[in-house]
């Protein structure tokens, strides 16, 4: 894969599935020319959730927040998606929107379908239901993809990217 061609992880969390938003969300990635390289519906076990929500989260937001996020991601099935494209990590993050739903711009996934704030979640002692996870860096994407996909589950097919002028 070239420096510009990347794979990244997207997780549609249990709240996205409960609200029936899988197709709408996937459509947003496909319509800009991003490629689905892996896709599966899974129910996360606690070990995978603890890897995904690492000790770093506990250091930044506290162990209680980490525990709530692990509880949320293991509360129902998730759709794990490996997305590939030119500078996919950055493109996907823009489509997804800010992590805190109330701060996400209209037109982004979180801006259009979620509205909760960190302060509300903290006061309610609940995880932030923000529908979706997207890797924040190319390095994080490589690590996270390995938590959710075995190498043979990622497909290497070659659509003609040259016809997608938005990505060049």
- Catalytic residue, chosen from 27, 115, 120, 133, is 133
Rounded CA-CA distance 161/144 in Å is: 25
Placement of tokens 């992880």 in the chain = 9
106, exposed or middle or buried, with CB in 10 Å at 0-12, 13-18, 19+? exposed
Active site residue 52: no
Rounded CA-CA distance 165/168 in Å is: 5
Which residues are identified as catalytic? 133
């Amino acid at each position: 894969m070239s420096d510009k061609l990347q794979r990244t992880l997207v997780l549609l969390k249990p709240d996205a599935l409960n609200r029936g938003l899988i197709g709408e969300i996937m459509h947003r990635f496909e319509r800009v020319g991003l490629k689905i390289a892996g896709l599966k519906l899974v129910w996360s076990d606690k070990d995978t959730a603890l890897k995904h929500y690492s000790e770093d989260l506990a250091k930044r937001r506290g162990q209680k927040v980490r525990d709530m996020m692990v509880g949320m991601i293991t509360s129902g099935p998730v759709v794990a998606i490996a997305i590939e494209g030119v500078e996919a990590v950055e493109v996907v993050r823009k489509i997804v929107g800010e992590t805190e739903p109330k701060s996400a711009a209209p037109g982004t996934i979180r801006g259009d379908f979620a509205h909760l704030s960190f302060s509300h979640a903290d006061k309610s002692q609940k995880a932030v239901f923000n529908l979706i996870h997207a890797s924040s860096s190319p390095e994080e994407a490589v690590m996270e993809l390995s938590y959710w996909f075995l190498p043979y589950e990622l497909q290497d097919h070659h659509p003609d990217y040259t016809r997608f002028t938005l990505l060049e």
